[in-house]
Amino acid sequence: MTTDSREDVASQALARLGEPAISSFEEDSDTAEKVNQLYEPTILQLLSSHDWSFATKRKALEEDAAGVPVNEWARAFLLPNLRSDRVGKPLSVFNSTERGAKPVFEYEIEGRWLFTDYTTVVIEYIYRVPESQWPGYFHTLAIEATAATLALPITENASKEQLHRAVAYGSPNEKGRGGLFGTATKADATGEPTRSLLDDHDPIWIARFGGFR
């Protein structure tokens, strides 16, 4: 696990671009303004693009009397907040807290609520994991993905954007599933840490990109 804050991750991404660090997303600078606009969407996109084991959790929902069930449903259950806690729709829904419960499908999601006739609802979902709890493989990916997102707006250098996007996601024919993203998904599946490909002395980096910054 790392101990980074979002400022640390963003600053490491800026360093990859040869740009100075920021101390706060709210500081009075053009760089900080762009980081503030683009950082969180980049992280949410990464989290939503794979069923990360480290970011998956289960939660028993509370019935919400303020919710108005639609159509035939009898009950409304309040979902975790989208973006600030939950990333995307639930991966699975259960009508029991028992271990080994099977997913159920008789429900409907609308806005902040899950509507159903079940009296108990448990969801499995991807949550917005704090930077300090990211495993190393996701931390490495997030830095490079953020660098790819910031490259053109901050440096106005299309070559840098292409470079960092290739490192983060692989070649175009890999459709965003290669590069560090592919490495991270494999590590996530096995639970094993991987050596960072962002090391300046990494022979793979040097051979593929000639050490270009």
Q: How far apart are CA 188 and CA 24, in angstroms?
A: 30
Task: Based on the fold, state whether residues 26 and 87 are members of the same structural domain.
Answer: no
The closest of 128, 105, 112 to 56, measured between CA atoms, is: 128
Does residue 210 carry a pLDDT above 50?
A: no
Task: Based on the fold, state whether residues 119 and 138 are members of the same structural domain.
Answer: no
Q: Which of 127, 156, 184 is the last residue of a domain?
A: 127
Question: Rg of the chain over CA atoms, in angstroms?
Answer: 20
Evaluate whether residue 1 is within a structural domain: no
| 113-116 and 107-110 beta bridge pairing | antiparallel
Task: Based on the fold, state whether residues 80 and 122 are members of the same structural domain.
Answer: yes
Number of structural domains the chain divides into: 2
Task: Based on the fold, state whether residues 33 and 137 are members of the same structural domain.
Answer: yes
Task: Based on the fold, state whether residues 42 and 136 are members of the same structural domain.
Answer: yes
- Cα angle 47, 10, 199 (rounded to 5 degrees) comes to 90
Task: Based on the fold, state whether residues 46 and 141 are members of the same structural domain.
Answer: yes
pLDDT on residue 63: 96
pLDDT on residue 40: 97
| Residue 193: Cβ-neighbour burial (10 angstroms; 0-12, 13-18, 19+) | exposed
Q: Which domain holds residue 97?
A: 53-127
| Residue 156: Cβ-neighbour burial (10 angstroms; 0-12, 13-18, 19+) | exposed
pLDDT on residue 72: 86
Evaluate whether residue 77 is within a structural domain: yes
* pLDDT tens, residue by residue, 58-113: 999 999 988 888 778 999 999 999 999 999 999 999 999 998 999 999 999 999 99
Task: Based on the fold, state whether residues 141 and 170 are members of the same structural domain.
Answer: yes
Please state whether the predicted TM-score (pTM) of the whole model is above 0.75.
yes
pLDDT on residue 209: 37
Mean pLDDT value across the chain: 89
Helix (H) or strand (E) holding 115: strand 113-116
* pLDDT tens, residue by residue, 101-156: 999 999 999 999 999 999 999 999 999 999 999 999 999 999 999 999 999 999 99
